[in-house]
């Protein structure tokens, strides 16, 4: 069809593509001319067990619809094997969608090392291993597109999910650095915080809400970001789901700048706390360089009004 974004002759690797969002990506790219590596370990949403069925079903579906796909059943912790499947079968890799994920929700008080470690292994190490294995191919061919998957839980925190939140915000830092390192090789990396009905969310959201959160409605944004024509968005963070797409960025308050000498005391900060929290004239920093220019300004300032001792009244007295 005229006007469609196409991915002909491109090889797309989707991790965790046996269900939910991953399946939606895989079937989409399979229908738009790409050769798809459908990776899935096939375990439970808590990361227990393995099965080849999840990936096989999706491969069959893509092939029946006239597309090309191959299954891979490795854990993302062995990302090199997943990328090897792409190279062995199709000779290249163009797009990597780091999507595989599990949950081990438990309050921080009751969290075990195993709950923490497993989440880090699948989300953080998994995304790293897959990207690391794809990177030399991307650099050599001067082309690559990566999507990493964060979550609102990572951006804002979520009760009972401190392991998952930590792993998901890690995707943001990981993406922002890969975007900077990859730019000159035309390797573009972005990160999404999706929301979609899947086995992960079906027990925590009501059915009427889930009906409006089809995984297929996350796909169009990912399709745009990994397309060869996207050279503008790199290192960006998006939230997406149910027809909504928005970009997120860091916002810094007006801030308080004081002379960094012995007048720079807790009391000096408290006296002007309203400036620390004033977002009426925000800045949008995009790197450490912005901060360095602030430090240069601080060196030109006079001493602060220290003003201790402080009036705490059970909590810090904010002026
Ligand atoms: P899902 O449970 O339907 O899909 C995840 C897939 O990853 C499963 O098919 C699973 O077998 C596979 N997987 C798990 N561990 C694996 C491993 N070690 N190696 C290979 N495959 C593995 O869940 P859903 O909702 O589709 O999640 C996809 C991604 O989106 C995950 O990273 C999740 O954390 C993230 N996400 C989803 C949200 C939602 O609203 N559904 C919200 C925020 C983030």
273 phi/psi in degrees, rounded to 5: -60, -30
ipTM of the complex as predicted: 0.99
280 has pLDDT over 60:
yes
Catalytic residues, by residue number, are 164, 168
Ligand 1 center–CA 104 separation, angstroms: 12
Rg (CA), the chain: 23
Tens-place pLDDT, residues 96-106: 999 999 999 99
**Residues 21, 198 contacting (CB under 8 angstroms):** yes
240 lines ligand 1 (CB under 6 A): no
**Residues 170, 214 contacting (CB under 8 angstroms):** no
Q: 147 forms bridges with which residues in the sheet?
A: 97, 190
pTM score of the predicted model: 0.94
Tens-place pLDDT, residues 218-264: 999 999 999 999 999 999 999 999 999 999 999 999 899 998 888 88
CA distance 285 to 114: 36
**Residues 70, 37 contacting (CB under 8 angstroms):** yes
Ligand 1 center–CA 58 separation, angstroms: 15
CA distance 154 to 166: 6
Dihedral class, residue 35 (left if φ above 0, else alpha if ψ from -120 to 50, else beta): beta
Low-confidence winner among 10-24, 227-241, 294-308 (lowest mean pLDDT): 294-308
DSSP letter at 213 equals -
Specify the residue with its C-alpha closest to ligand 1, atom 33.
101
Q: State the pairing for strand pair 68-72/95-98.
A: unpaired
């Amino acid at each position: 069809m005229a006007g469609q974004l196409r991915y002909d002759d491109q090889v797309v690797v989707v991790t965790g593509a046996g269900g939910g969002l991953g399946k939606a990506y895989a079937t989409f790219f399979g229908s738009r001319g790409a050769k798809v590596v459908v990776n899935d370990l096939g375990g439970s949403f808590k990361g227990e067990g393995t099965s080849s069925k999840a990936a096989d079903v999706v491969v069959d579906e893509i092939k029946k619809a006239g597309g090309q796909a191959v299954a891979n059943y490795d854990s993302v912790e062995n990302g090199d094997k997943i990328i090897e499947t792409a190279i062995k079968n199709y000779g290249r890799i163009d797009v990597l969608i780091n999507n595989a994920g599990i949950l081990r929700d438990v309050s921080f008080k009751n969290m075990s090392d195993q709950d923490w470690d497993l989440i880090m292994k699948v989300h953080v190490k998994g995304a790293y291993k897959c990207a690391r294995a794809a990177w030399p191919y991307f650099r050599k061919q001067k082309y690559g597109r990566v999507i990493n998957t964060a979550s609102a839980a990572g951006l804002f925190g979520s009760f009972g999910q401190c392991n998952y939140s930590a792993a998901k915000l890690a995707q943001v830092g990981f993406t922002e650095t890969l975007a900077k390192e990859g730019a000159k090789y035309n390797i573009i990396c972005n990160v999404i915080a999706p929301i979609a009905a899947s086995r992960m969310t079906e027990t925590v959201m009501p059915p009427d809400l889930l009906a409006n959160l089809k995984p297929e409605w996350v796909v169009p944004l990912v399709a745009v970001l990994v397309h060869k024509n996207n050279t503008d968005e790199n290192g960006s963070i998006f939230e997406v789901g149910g027809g909504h797409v928005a970009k997120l960025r860091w916002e810094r308050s007006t801030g308080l700048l004081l002379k960094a000498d012995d007048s720079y005391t807790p009391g000096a900060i408290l006296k002007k706390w309203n400036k620390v929290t004033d977002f009426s004239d925000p800045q949008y920093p995009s790197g450490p360089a912005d901060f360095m220019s602030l430090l240069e300004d601080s060196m030109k300032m006079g001493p602060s009004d220290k003003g201790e001792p402080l009036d705490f009244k059970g909590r810090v007295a904010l002026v």
